[in-house]
């Protein structure tokens, strides 16, 4: 199984064994992820067909370049001055320079603080320099090309996705927590409600993961989802270096 090519805060590699038990009930279905993030779920389930979406255009561009066999010819070094030089270059570069944007995005992701991906309201990437002793960079992603070649990547609001009855939807939206600026647009409570109602309309299997807040539990319970609870590893500490498990909920329909 290929490892996710990016560092991703809140990634779901730890959840793969539980999702596989659900996925194996529908092996011929297409996997649909409205918030594909770091790609750990798609790589872990390894579907033949997938529709993988995210609101982050830089992320989707990176995956589309992986489909083309991305190689990186920029100098890669765990250096603070170089990091801020590349961050400015990334924010200044035109969107149509897709290969260079993908190369810079990979470097910023691997070198920036704690696997964060964060944009300000003007669309500027603003993650600070990381504090890693060593970083194992990759400059050739040929091993990903064959796997990703059969998958479709899109960059739109989840409500614009064309869903089929034989789709297995796994949704892992930005969590119901105060910090939600994962993309320029953000993701507020109205978006959480929109998503829940959109998922409830699907006739096929649906899995939603989110932090188990009272509001999230009430929202999905009232829409007819069955809820399962589990302790997730917290990957980013809010208080010094203290890291602890966080209560999460899986909301299921169609099983």
pTM for the full predicted model: 0.91
Domains and CATH numbers, the chain: 13-56+149-253 (3.40.50.150)
Q: Where are the beta strands (DSSP E) in 144-220?
A: 151-154, 167-171, 206-211
- What's the CA gap between 144 and 104, in Å, rounded? 18
Helix (H) or strand (E) holding 30: strand 30-33
Q: Could you read off the pLDDT tens digit of each residue along the chain, which spans 255 residues?
A: 799 999 998 889 999 999 999 999 998 999 999 999 999 999 999 999 999 999 999 999 999 999 999 999 999 999 999 999 999 999 999 878 999 999 999 999 999 998 889 988 888 999 999 999 999 999 999 999 999 999 999 999 999 999 999 999 999 998 877 654 455 567 889 999 999 999 999 999 999 999 999 999 999 999 999 999 998 776 444 444 455 567 899 999 999
Burial class (CB in 10 A: 0-12, 13-18, 19+), 96: exposed
pLDDT at residue number 200: 98
**Residue linked to tokens 């890693």:** 132
pLDDT of residue 234: 61
Q: Between vectors from CA 34 to CA 71 and to CA 212, what angle results, nearest 5°?
A: 115
Q: What is the pLDDT of residue 183?
A: 52
What pLDDT sits at residue 95?
A: 79
Strand-pair partners of 248: 211, 230
Element (H, E) at 189: helix 189-200
Which residues, at least 6 apart from 96, have a Cβ–Cβ distance to it below 8 Å? none
pLDDT value for 179 = 52
- Per-residue pLDDT at 88: 97
Cα 183 to Cα 178: distance, rounded to the nearest angstrom: 14
Helices 98-111, 57-67: inter-axial angle, 10-degree rounding: 110
Helix (H, G, I), strand (E, B) or coil at 35: coil
What pLDDT is stored for residue 184 in this prediction?
Answer: 54
pLDDT at 245: 62
């Amino acid at each position: 199984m290929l490892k996710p090519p990016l560092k991703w805060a809140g990634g779901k590699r730890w959840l793969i064994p539980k999702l596989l038990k659900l996925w194996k009930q529908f092996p011929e279905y297409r996997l649909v992820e409205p918030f594909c993030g770091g790609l750990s779920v798609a790589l872990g389930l390894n579907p033949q067909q997938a529709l993988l979406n995210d609101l982050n255009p830089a992320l989707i561009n990176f995956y589309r370049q992986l489909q083309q066999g991305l190689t990186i010819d920029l100098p890669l070094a765990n250096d603070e001055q170089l990091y801020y030089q590349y961050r400015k270059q990334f924010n200044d570069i035109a969107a149509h320079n897709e290969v260079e944007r993908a190369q810079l995005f990979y470097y910023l992701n691997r070198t920036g603080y704690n696997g964060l991906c964060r944009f300000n309201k003007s669309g500027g990437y603003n993650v600070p320099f990381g504090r890693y002793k060593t970083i194992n960079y990759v400059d050739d992603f040929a091993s990903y090309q064959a796997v990703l070649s059969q998958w479709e990547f899109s960059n739109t609001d989840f409500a614009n996705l064309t869903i089929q009855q034989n789709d297995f939807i796994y949704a892992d939206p930005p969590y119901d927590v105060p910090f939600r600026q994962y993309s320029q647009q953000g993701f507020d409570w109205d978006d959480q409600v929109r998503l829940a109602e959109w998922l409830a309309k699907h006739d096929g299997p649906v899995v939603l993961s989110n932090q188990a807040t009272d509001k999230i539990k009430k929202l999905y319970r009232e829409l007819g989802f069955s809820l399962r609870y589990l302790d997730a590893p917290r990957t980013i500490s809010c208080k010094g270096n203290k890291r602890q498990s966080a209560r999460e909920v899986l909301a299921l329909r169609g099983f």
